[in-house]
Structure 1
Amino acid sequence: MASNVSIEQNSGKLPWNERLSYGISDFACSFSFNLVGTYLMYFYTDVFGITASAVGTLMLVARVIDAIDGPIWGILIDHTHTRWGKSRPYFLWFNAPFTFFSILCFTTPDLPMTWKIVWAYVTYIGVDVLYSAINIPLTSILPSMTTDPKERVLLSTIRSLFSNFGGTLISVIALPLVTLIGGKDQSRGFFWVAVLGASVFFVLYLVAFFNLREHVQTRSSQQALPIKESLKALKRNWPWLIVVLEIFIYWIGMSAKGQVTMYFFKYNLNAPGLIPLALFFNAAGIISVFLTPYVVGKLGKKNTMLAGLFIGIIGQAILGIGAHMLNIPIVIIGIIVGNFGNGFVGALPAVLLSDAVDYGEWKNGVRAEGIVTSASSFTAKFGMGLGGAITGWLLALGQYVPNKTQSASSLLSIEFNYVWIPLIALFIGFMLVVFYNLTAEKEKQMNQDLAIKHQRENDEYSM
């Protein structure tokens, strides 16, 4: 019997309005959420007045909760079937709630210390859970937009370019705006900068919702998958396992580094005025992101990722030399080299996870975009939280005291977070990617087999 529901297949190029809309969606995420990732620990300790150890514990607790909510969002996506698709509705449904909580994070009610900590728990966990609700669909929608490997790399590159630009922009302008708006009242300044970031997010995510489409729909993708069936997509899915472990380790290092950037320049280098400049050099990653499609065409995805991690390791080593010598020019060189390598690393996980969606279907006969790609948000945020927890605990161990001249142990704890934890994480990530086993030849065979499978399913569906 013929069905009224059409099955769409887009195995090729997408129009530029969709490509750019996919990009601005992550510009919106980075512009709003990077304010949290870069400044929230400093805001909690030096503005809101919470101890570093309490902040570190908060970030770990939030990550434990993420161990639950990340997969839940993935399962919900696999069970979602609307006229807008599976992933796209979440752009609309959770836009306003995330906007609201991202402002609450930088709100400073006059409360006793215990209730300040409670406020921080509620607002930070809230924004974190809601970020999963709007960011996991951004990854899960990619395999539903196109099956063309080159188009996926291009889309991920555009997304990473916009993400890097958004994150760099808010990082650079945040502190000057805090001072411009709040003067000596940093709490007022941070609040209105959070309002700015949230407003930009709200508008751009609506634009993304209206312009994006889920073109790749098969008979199986239009059916609700039981949880047990969804999990079959992960069975012996070694490319998926390698990618999610690499994401987890990478973000432990990057979170530890990002959380103490302000501390390092303010206390170790005694150059707080250079913080916006140092964050501006994150833009070095934009160059490598732009080059990613070309480099992938020459080296392949795995070798491009390895190259990015290796360059990141070199950058951190240079940074370590500069930190030891308290030499600002060497520190800046290390930042530039490291961020150039990080651009390659950041551009590829969404592509590799889309490949893992295909691999799970190829090996196990189950296509579960939600559960497979939700791991990227879960592991990234779990890594961020663990990195933040390590940072808070090390600062407490080093006896960090806000807005005072720091002891030698405090300065050492800041340096360890800024230099050595990221270096260790990059090295472990490099070793993991060495074992990535989805070769170009295997990927080509996989895509051919899946194209035949989808065509057969669609022919049966239209009968």
Structure 2
Amino acid sequence: MSENAPHAEVATKNMVPWKERFAYSLSDFACNLSFQMVGTYLMIFYTDTFGISAAAVGTLFLAARIVDAFDGPFWGIMIDHTHTKYGKSRPYWLWFSIPFAVFCVLVFTTPNLSLTGKLIWAYVTYIGVDVLYSAVNIPITSILPSLTSNPQERVTLSTIRQFMGTAGATLITGITLGMVAFFGNGSTTSAHGWFIWALIVGIIVVIIFGFVFKNTHERVQTKSSRKSIPIKESLKALRRNWPWAIIIFINFIYWLGMQTRSQVTVYFFKYNMHDAGLASFVLSLQIVALVAVVVTPWTSKRIGKRNTMLMGMILAVVGQLLLSVGAGSLSVPMIIFATIVGYLGTGYVSGLIAVMLADAVDYGEWKNGVRAEGIVTSFSSFSAKLGMGIGGVITGWLLTSTGYVANHAQSASALHGIELNYIWVPLLGFALSGIALMFYHVDGIEKQMQSDLAVKHAKENAEDED
């Protein structure tokens, strides 16, 4: 029998049926319904509804990132130590979806408190939602290597997941202001409107995660995945794991740029363009990213995952440059066109990050003999939220330092601060991500790596049966 035969056999055996593909994709749909609402609207909710200054919000986001320095790896280690009849990653959706949804509601709740009390409430609820987000989101990535050993099937799964995740993000960012106004007697700053809408979203999220838990299965079982891995042993999977280091850096700097842009979108259209309603339309243009998401498997199969993501980063940079032209001339058509170009680019990027992290799990086992899905993929959540948090800090401090005053006409300096957040910080993040991709070379060794691992797993499974 040839060395590639075990690999082909395992890959065929571990194909994922369509019902399970759909269930897996809904995990990101649910996450984006809730956390995109937090990421996009929480800052303006805090400043324009709850009455907290932009600088205080920025400091809050930084404090949450310090907590993330521990909670991301903590959940990864917990996954590597979990061994249940449901698997290693899957049980976390059962255990933590309800607490996560509860905190997603609390973070948009406005109790009648002093300014100090408001800050304490914001710290507790936001850090709570952040920690619990890791508990349900890290398993989405950590389970991927266990769903299938077929590299192209992983791209397909991640593409479908990203399609639904983008659909969830588009839906929630497009309708939230309208729903808040609907429940808040026509006001987008209504505390009652924000609470009722967050409650509805939270209930939907819990129902979806129940469906995801019921209909996914961890079918790729290796010697490592069938036992708890000591922390010291799991950390060996990161040694000389350059693909992992590159993707974690990209995940950090890419989401820093995405966060600064998304959380000031409403500010930009409310104050710079004098049309807050246009923000919902522009945010809903994320739907064009689905075009790139759909063709990602085809593109990555022909030019490779690295080159597909690099193409996406270039499009994202071009979109930001065009956006600067539109902002300078206050041209709505140019801003819309630039946004479409940018979203096409980010559509290629987001879905491939999870796939490349799954490849990093394989690479860590191939190089170091340790398969640690939890610790390797947990840094995805940590790096993304670190980037988003620092993006929040940058936004808050820039708005404050340039003179932003909530619910008032802004000075030229404040308008410039909003524009810096909306255009130039994201552009820098996308450009640095593209440069980092030039050092990613896994595509060229993937076939050999998968073949070697298939032989290794087949041998281990045979030994366990004896």
Tell me if both proteins adopt one fold, taking TM over 0.5 as the criterion.
Answer: yes
Selected match of 1:291 from 295, 298, 305: 295
Superposed CA deviations along residues 52-103 of structure 1, whole A, max 9, x for unmatched, are 0000000011011101100010000000000000000001000110011000
More displaced 10-residue stretch of structure 1: 189-198 or 46-55: 189-198
Secondary structure of the residue aligned to 1:94 is helix
Selected match of 1:55 from 52, 57, 69: 57
Q: Counterparts of 2:283 and 2:227 in 1: how far apart (Å)?
A: 45
Matched, 1:64 2:66: yes
- The aligned residue for residue 3 of structure 1 is none
- The aligned residue for residue 304 of structure 1 is 308
Selected match of 1:461 from 458, 461, 464: 464
Q: Counterparts of 2:352 and 2:66 in 1: how far apart (Å)?
A: 26
Q: Counterparts of 2:389 and 2:293 in 1: how far apart (Å)?
A: 25
Secondary structure of the residue aligned to 1:189 is helix
Q: Counterparts of 2:191 and 2:228 in 1: how far apart (Å)?
A: 46
Selected match of 2:174 from 172, 175, 181: 172
Selected match of 2:359 from 348, 355, 365: 355
Moved over 6 A (4+): none
CA contact (8 A) 1:9 1:217 kept: no
CA contact (8 A) 2:50 2:110 kept: yes
CA contact (8 A) 1:23 1:163 kept: yes
Residue 223 of structure 1 deviates from its aligned partner by 1.4
Secondary structure of the residue aligned to 1:222 is coil
Q: Counterparts of 1:370 and 1:381 in 2: how far apart (Å)?
A: 17
CA contact (8 A) 2:309 2:352 kept: yes
Residue 219 of structure 1 deviates from its aligned partner by 1.5
1:101-250 correspondence to structure 2 within 5 Å: 101-183=103-185, 184=187, 186-250=190-254
Q: Counterparts of 2:436 and 2:101 in 1: how far apart (Å)?
A: 36
CA contact (8 A) 1:9 1:215 kept: no
CA contact (8 A) 1:238 1:437 kept: no
User: Percent identity among equivalent residues?
Assistant: 55
CA contact (8 A) 1:77 1:86 kept: yes
Q: Counterparts of 2:203 and 2:339 in 1: how far apart (Å)?
A: 30
- The aligned residue for residue 341 of structure 1 is 345
Q: Counterparts of 1:119 and 1:215 in 2: how far apart (Å)?
A: 42
Q: Counterparts of 2:135 and 2:277 in 1: how far apart (Å)?
A: 36
Q: Counterparts of 2:222 and 2:433 in 1: how far apart (Å)?
A: 35
Q: Which amino acid aligns with 2:251?
A: I
Matched, 1:368 2:402: no
Superposed CA deviations along residues 350-379 of structure 1, whole A, max 9, x for unmatched, are 100000000000000000000000111110
Secondary structure of the residue aligned to 1:192 is helix
1:323-342 correspondence to structure 2 within 5 Å: 323-342=327-346
Q: Counterparts of 2:170 and 2:34 in 1: how far apart (Å)?
A: 11
Q: Counterparts of 1:71 and 1:384 in 2: how far apart (Å)?
A: 17
CA contact (8 A) 1:264 1:418 kept: yes
- The aligned residue for residue 3 of structure 2 is none
Residue 9 of structure 1 deviates from its aligned partner by 5.9
Matched, 1:86 2:96: no
- The aligned residue for residue 274 of structure 2 is 270
Q: Counterparts of 2:424 and 2:453 in 1: how far apart (Å)?
A: 44
Q: Counterparts of 1:437 and 1:273 in 2: how far apart (Å)?
A: 44
Q: Counterparts of 1:267 and 1:219 in 2: how far apart (Å)?
A: 57
Superposed CA deviations along residues 126-153 of structure 1, whole A, max 9, x for unmatched, are 0000000000001000000100011100
CA contact (8 A) 1:38 1:259 kept: yes
Matched, 1:26 2:1: no
Q: Counterparts of 1:145 and 1:253 in 2: how far apart (Å)?
A: 31
Q: Counterparts of 1:438 and 1:239 in 2: how far apart (Å)?
A: 7
- The aligned residue for residue 440 of structure 2 is 436
CA contact (8 A) 2:289 2:343 kept: yes
What value does the CA root-mean-square deviation take over the aligned residues? Answer: 1.0
Q: Counterparts of 2:381 and 2:94 in 1: how far apart (Å)?
A: 19
In the superposition, the TM-score normalised over structure 2's length comes to: 0.97
- The aligned residue for residue 6 of structure 2 is none
Check 1:159–1:37 CA distance in 2 against 1; reply closer, same or farther (3 A cut).
Answer: same
CA contact (8 A) 1:252 1:425 kept: yes
Q: Counterparts of 1:434 and 1:124 in 2: how far apart (Å)?
A: 36
- The aligned residue for residue 16 of structure 1 is 18
- The aligned residue for residue 453 of structure 2 is 450
CA contact (8 A) 2:322 2:338 kept: yes
CA contact (8 A) 1:322 1:331 kept: yes
For structure 1, list consecutive stretches of 5 or more residues without a partner in the other structure.
1-7
Q: Counterparts of 1:9 and 1:231 in 2: how far apart (Å)?
A: 27
For structure 2, list consecutive stretches of 5 or more residues without a partner in the other structure.
1-8
Superposed CA deviations along residues 143-193 of structure 1, whole A, max 9, x for unmatched, are 001000111000000000000000100111111111111123611111111
1:39-50 correspondence to structure 2 within 5 Å: 39-50=41-52
CA contact (8 A) 1:25 1:208 kept: yes
For this pair of structures, how many residues does the alignment match?
A: 455
Superposed CA deviations along residues 381-421 of structure 1, whole A, max 9, x for unmatched, are 11000001110000000110000000011000000000000
Selected match of 2:430 from 419, 426, 429: 426
In the superposition, the TM-score normalised over structure 1's length comes to: 0.97
More displaced 10-residue stretch of structure 1: 193-202 or 423-432: 193-202
CA contact (8 A) 1:22 1:212 kept: yes
